[in-house]
Structure 1
Amino acid sequence: CHIILRERSGRLGNHLFMFASAYGLSLKYSCQLYIDRNIIDKIQKSLEISLTNLLSKSQLKRSTIIT
């Protein structure tokens, strides 16, 4: 199972919703999560957080950032 989160038009709220939904589904169904690098950059820049700090080591193994 793979979940791919690609950049779409929208502002920060839309990106946060897409990320939270994809992240939740990946946990619920034990899927690999692939995230577009632009989404990660926008969220980290706006909130000044590191998303990698929010993921456990096992979740990081299942997550991949699309560059």
Structure 2
Amino acid sequence: MAPMLRCAPPQISRMWTATAVKLGVATEADRALDSFAERLRREVVATQGVFALPTFVGAWSRRRPG
């Protein structure tokens, strides 16, 4: 079965790589965004890994007066 992989929009990739550089887990050279999605895809497929964004769930409600 072929791996299913969808790449994030460029603005998300920029945020991830900027954070990685700030935390010291990547270098500026690693931020080559023109190849970032492909490099990430290759690594995830090669290691049979899973890469997912955190899931955010929100809800709201109102209390009745009284």
Larger relative contact order (Cα-Cα within 8 Å, sequence gap ≥ 6): 1
TM-score (norm 1): 0.31
More helix per residue: 1 or 2?
1
Q: Give TM-score scaled by structure 2 length.
A: 0.32
